[in-house]
Every structure is written in structure tokens, then in C-alpha cells.
Structure 1
């Protein structure tokens, strides 16, 4: 999985601008950074890689369903026309 970037300096600065003191802002930033590091976040690229085989399988199923329907319609038409 890819690494998620987290601008800690910018985050601390925004917290301080909104009323947090330096110590609170840094503690909250550290907690969030630890949570991000411990989690298994998925990026769009990760999803694209994982979903590619599923999309290919779905395309195959669509093609097969179309072929089965065409055969069924041909048999129906053959019997009644």
C-alpha cells in the first residue's frame, strides 16, 4: 500500500490559528499521525489495481450473458417463426 502524506507543520499551524495552544496542537497532531501510521488506508491507485481483475471478469460475464441470450432468442425464433 502507498504511504499517505500528512503535513504536520501545516496542521499544527491551522490548529493554533483556530485557538489551540502549541502543546495541544502538537499532541493532537501526534495522535493523528500515529492513527494514520497504524491504519491501513487505501489510495485510489490501490483500488484500481485490486479492481482491475474484477472488471475483467465482469466484462467476460457480460459477453457470455449476451451470447446465451442470443442463443435463447434464436431458439425461440426458430420454434415460433
Structure 2
């Protein structure tokens, strides 16, 4: 399988937007483990996934935009946020 093409079993939401699993994001976009992707999400360093029951999915467009923007931290120093 090509590293640049999404998995054939990638699902779409009701609006036709491609959704990727944690492993898809790790393998196709970040070249890291799924565990590292989860850590990045927990640290607020990448877009939050969408939860579908027990499944965790990312919108492909969110990941591609995040990468195009240079992978900025998603959780900024928001005023009034908990520490």
C-alpha cells in the first residue's frame, strides 16, 4: 500500500468527508506510532478526533490543514483555561 494514499477502508462521515483512524494518521501522515498520535492529541498538539462510539476518527481535511499550517499547537495559551 502506498504511504500517500488513504486506506481503502477509510470511512466517510454523512457529508462525504474522509475520516481516518489513529493508525491511518500515524502511518500515512506522521510516520509514527498510534500511541504517539494519542499522546499528541492528549497534549493538545494536534486536532481533536471525533468519537463514534468506541471508534476514534480524524477528519482528513483537519489533518491536512494542520500539516499545511506547520503543525501548530491546537491548545494555545487560552485565557481562563485550566492548568
Q: TM-score, normalised by structure 2?
A: 0.25
Q: TM-score, normalised by structure 1?
A: 0.25
In our comparison, the structure showing a higher alpha carbon Rg is 1
**Greater helix content:** 1
Greater RCO, 1 or 2 (C-alpha within 8 Å, sep 6+):
1
**Greater strand content:** 2
